[in-house]
Amino acid sequence: MFKKVLVANRGEIALRIIRALREMGVKSVAVCSEADKDNFYCGLADDSICIGPAAAASSYLNVSQIISAALVKKCDAVHPGYGFLAENPHFAEICASYGLSFIGPSAETIALAGQKADIIDLVKRKKIPVVPGSKGVVANAAEAKKIAAAIKYPVIIKATAGGGGKGMRIVRSEKDIEQAFELAGAEAKNAFSNAGLYVEKYIEAPRHIEIQIAADKKGKVLYFPERDCSIQRNHQKVLEEGPSPQINAKLRKKLGETACRVAKLVNYTTVGTVEFLVSKNDFYFMEMNARIQVEHPVTEFVSDIDLMKLQIALAAGEDLPLNQDDVKEICHAVECRINSEDENYMPSAGKIERLILPGGPGVRVDTAMTNGSEISPFYDSMIAKIITYGRDRAEAIERMKRALLELKIEGVTTNIALHQKILRNENFVKGCYTTDFIGSMK
C-alpha cells in the first residue's frame, strides 16, 4: 500500500480522497491554488502545498508544479480525482517517469479511452453495438456533410477528447452543419486543446445509462448495478439515480457484461465507467471514462462498497477482493448536484453567506464549502452533492425532498428549485424519463 499520496485536485473530490486515505492509514498531501489556500479541506490533509495562482492553467493543470509538489513532499503516488488531469495520459506518463504511481489506469489506456472516435472504432470491430457514425476523426465540414447524408439527420457532432457536454452540437439539417462543425471544433480546442471531432447519428430521447466497473492488474473485471444519468441539460448531468427505474435484470446483465468486455479490450485497471445510450431494449456503446466519477456515491450506496478505497487499493496492486456474485443491489440512491447558477444555467460566482446542510437517516452530503466560502469564477460552480438512499426508490426520493428542504444556501443563486421541480414531476416519479426530460418538463 502507498505511504503518502498527493491529492492533485480541489474541493469536494479532494476532501473525499483525503477522507478515504485517512481511513486506510495513508498520509495525504493536499494541493491548492492561491484562491483555495484557506479552504478547510486543506487543513484536513496531513500536509498541504500551494502550487500557483487561481487560474487552473497556472495551478491545478500545471503538471510541473504538481510533480514538483509530489517530489518535495516525498509522495509515492498521485490521485487526480476527476476533471483537471484525471484523463491526461501525458500526466500519467510523467508521474511514472518520476517513480510516482498514478491512481488510475495506465497512460496507454487513458489515451485510448479518451479518444472517443478510436475506442468506438475498436468496440465496433468486436461486434459491440455502437451508434452509426464516422470512422475516426472527421477532417472537415465537407466530410461531415457526406457522413450525415449517409446516416441521415439528425446527427450529433462530438469532440473526440474530453467530456462534460463541451464540443457537442446537434444538427438537424445540412444547412446548419458547417457552422455547427466550426463552433464544436473551436469549443473542443479551447476546452481540451484538441479540435478533433467525429459525427454520430443522433438518437432521439434515449436513456443515458452508465456501468461502473472495477479491474485489477491480473485482468479480473466486475461490474456494479447501473446508474441512470438521463436527467441532464446541455449534455451535462443534473440528477443521477441507481439502479435505473427502467432497466430490467436481463438488460442489466447484458450491459454489465458488455462493459466488462470493453474494459478488457483496453486493458483497464482500477475503477472506471462505461456509458451507453439505451432505447427500449436496444443499447449502444457511447464512451468510457477512465476515472472515478462525480456520481460514484450513488453506486457506493447501492452496492455498499467504498469505490474510492477500492480504486486506491487496486492502483497499489492489490487484487479485486470481490467476485461478481458479491456485488449486490441493496438499496436505491439518488444524487442531486447543487450548483451555483442562475435560471439560465449560467455559473454564479460569489460568497456563501449562510450554509445549512441537511442530515438525518439516509442522507450524505459531499461538499468542501462552509459559511463564507467563495464560489470562484475560475472553477466549477458545484457547491455540493446531496445523495440519499432508501429501501426502495420511493423512500430515496422522499428523503431527497426532505434534504432539499433542509438545505439553505444564501449569498449565491443555486439550482435547488430546479431539483425540487424535477422531484415533483409526475414522469420522474413514475421513472418515465429520457435525456430530453428537462427540456420537455412543464
Max Cα-Cα span within the chain: 60
> CA distances (Å), 344 to each of 414, 415, 432, in order?
11, 10, 25
Is the bond preceding residue 243 a cis peptide, omega within 30 degrees? yes
Angle made by CA atoms 116, 120, 123, in degrees to the nearest 5: 140
Task: Write out the H or E segment, with its range, that includes residue 94.
Answer: helix 89-97
For the question of residue 172 being annotated catalytic, the response is no
User: What residues form DSSP beta bridges with 211?
Assistant: 274
Q: Single out the residue of 6, 11, 49 nearest to residue 379, CA to CA.
A: 11
**Among the listed residues 157, 296, 154, 162, the one whose alpha carbon sits nearest the alpha carbon of residue 229:** 296
The dihedral through the CA atoms of 206, 208, 211, 217 has a sign that is positive
Alpha-carbon gap, residue 115 to 181, rounded angstroms: 18
Cell of 183: 463552433
Tell me the C-alpha distance between 65 and 62, whole Å. Answer: 5
Q: Which is catalytic among the residues 169, 207, 227, 291?
A: 291
Question: Exposure of 4 by Cβ count < 10 A (0-12 exposed, 13-18 middle, 19+ buried)?
Answer: middle
Residues facing 201 on adjacent strands: 155
DSSP 8-state assignment for residue 8: -
Q: What is the number of other CB atoms lying within 10 angstroms of the CB of residue 423?
A: 17
Mapped onto helix, strand or coil, the DSSP state of residue 174 is helix
Burial of 10-36, coded b for 16+ CB within 10 Å and e otherwise, reads bbbbbbbbbbbbeebebbbbbbbbebb
Q: Let me know: does 53 contact 34? Beta carbons within 8 Å.
A: yes
Q: How far is CA 266 from CA 55, 214, 260, 273, 388, in A?
A: 34, 13, 10, 13, 34
- Which residues are known to be catalytic? 291
